[in-house]
C-alpha cells in the first residue's frame, strides 16, 4: 500500500447530492482511472457501497465510503478536507462474500456473490416449503415460512436484524441462518452455523409454491435448490475512520446506538 494515495478514484450514486460531492472532490484530489487507482472513494449510501464492493470484487482494491445517501451504516462521515490524511489513518476491515449457486425449474444454474446475505423468498400467496441441509445432512425436513436467509457478520445488522436474527461481531467465525415469518416448526427461530459450513436449501412443491433466491442485487426466479458457502478466495477491503470501524459499528448496534 502506498504512503500517499496519489491515485484516488471517485464513484457516486445518481443523486444530485452525491454527484455534486464527486465533482468537488475530483477538483480537489483529481480522479484516477478506477483500474489504476490505489483506493476507490464511494459517495452515496450503503446501496452504493455494496455495488462498489461488487464492482471491484477480486481486485483487492480498498473502498472508502462517504455518506451522501439516506443510509450510511457502511459509510464514513462526509468531509471534503483532509481526505488523503483520513485515508492514511483509516482502519481496514476485510470480509469474504457468500457464494451462491442456484438452480431453477428449467435446470439453469446461476452463480452469484453476496456481501450481506442470501435470501430465499416466497413469490405467491402461499408460504414457501423448504428443506434445510448443512454440510450434506438434513437439519430441517420442512420449514414453512415466507423464506429464509443466510447472513454474514457484515450483513447481520441488515435484513437479518430486521428479521429478528442475531447481530454477529465482524470477526466471529459464524453465519446466521434466519427464517422469515416462520409458521412451522413453531419454535424454530434460526441457527448459528460455523462459517465453513455449506448450506443447501431445497424448495419443496416448487411449482405450487414458487420461490426466488436473492444474493445482494442478483435475483433468480423459480429456484428449486440453492447452495451457499463462504468464498475465502475473495477479500473485500473496506476503510473506516479510527473509532468508527465496521467492528465498532456492529458492536454499537448490539447496545442499541
> Do residues 105 and 212 both lie within one domain?
yes
What pLDDT is recorded for position 257?
Answer: 62
Q: What is the CATH number of the domain that holds 71?
A: 3.40.50.10330
> Do residues 145 and 84 both lie within one domain?
no
> Do residues 171 and 201 both lie within one domain?
yes
Count of structural domains, the chain: 2
Is 46 marked active-site? yes
What pLDDT is recorded for position 245?
Answer: 81
What pLDDT is recorded for position 52?
Answer: 96
Cα 148 to Cα 31, 86, 128, 132: the distances in Å are 42, 39, 9, 10
> Do residues 200 and 250 both lie within one domain?
no
What pLDDT is recorded for position 85?
Answer: 95
Report yes or no on 182 lying in a domain.
yes
> Do residues 72 and 109 both lie within one domain?
no
> Do residues 70 and 172 both lie within one domain?
no
Q: Which of 31, 46, 104, 235 is catalytic?
A: 46
Report yes or no on 3 lying in a domain.
no
Report yes or no on 218 lying in a domain.
yes
> Do residues 151 and 182 both lie within one domain?
yes
Q: What residues have CB less than 8 Å from 125, skipping those under 6 apart?
A: none
> Do residues 131 and 216 both lie within one domain?
yes
Report yes or no on 16 lying in a domain.
yes
Q: What is the CATH number of the domain that holds 117?
A: 2.60.200.30
Q: Which one is predicted more confidently, 60 or 26? A: 26
Residues 107-157 have pLDDT tens digits of: 999 999 999 999 999 999 999 999 999 999 999 999 999 999 999 999 999
Among 196, 194, 190, 202, smallest CA distance to 161 is for 190
Report yes or no on 2 lying in a domain.
no
- Quote the domain boundaries for residue 44: 8-95+234-254
Amino acid at each position: 500500500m502506498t504512503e500517499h494515495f496519489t491515485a484516488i478514484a471517485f464513484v457516486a450514486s445518481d443523486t444530485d447530492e452525491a454527484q455534486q460531492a464527486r465533482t468537488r472532490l475530483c477538483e480537489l484530489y483529481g480522479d484516477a482511472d478506477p483500474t489504476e487507482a490505489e483506493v476507490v472513494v464511494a459517495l452515496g449510501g450503503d446501496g452504493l457501497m455494496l455495488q462498489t464492493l461488487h464492482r471491484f470484487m477480486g481486485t483487492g482494491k480498498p473502498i472508502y465510503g462517504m455518506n451522501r445517501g439516506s443510509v450510511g451504516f457502511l459509510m464514513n462521515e462526509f468531509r471534503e478536507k483532509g481526505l488523503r490524511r483520513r485515508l492514511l489513518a483509516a482502519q481496514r476491515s476485510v470480509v469474504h462474500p457468500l457464494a451462491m449457486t442456484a438452480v431453477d425449474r428449467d435446470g439453469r444454474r446461476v452463480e452469484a456473490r453476496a456481501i450481506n446475505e442470501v435470501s430465499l423468498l416466497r413469490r405467491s400467496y402461499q408460504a414457501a416449503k423448504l428443506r434445510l441441509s448443512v454440510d450434506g445432512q438434513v437439519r430441517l425436513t420442512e420449514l414453512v415460512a415466507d423464506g429464509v436467509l443466510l447472513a454474514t457478520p457484515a450483513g447481520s445488522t441488515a435484513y437479518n436484524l430486521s428479521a429478528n436474527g442475531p447481530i454477529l461481531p465482524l470477526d466471529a467465525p459464524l453465519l446466521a441462518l434466519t427464517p422469515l415469518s416462520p409458521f412451522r416448526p413453531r419454535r424454530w427461530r434460526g441457527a448459528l452455523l460455523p462459517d465453513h459450513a455449506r448450506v443447501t436449501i431445497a424448495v419443496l412443491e416448487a411449482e405450487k409454491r414458487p420461490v426466488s433466491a436473492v444474493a445482494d442485487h442478483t435475483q433468480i426466479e423459480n429456484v428449486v435448490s440453492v447452495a451457499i458457502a463462504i468464498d475465502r478466495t475473495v477479500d473485500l477491503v473496506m476503510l473506516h475512520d479510527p473509532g468508527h470501524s465496521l467492528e465498532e459499528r456492529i458492536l454499537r448496534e448490539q447496545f442499541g446506538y
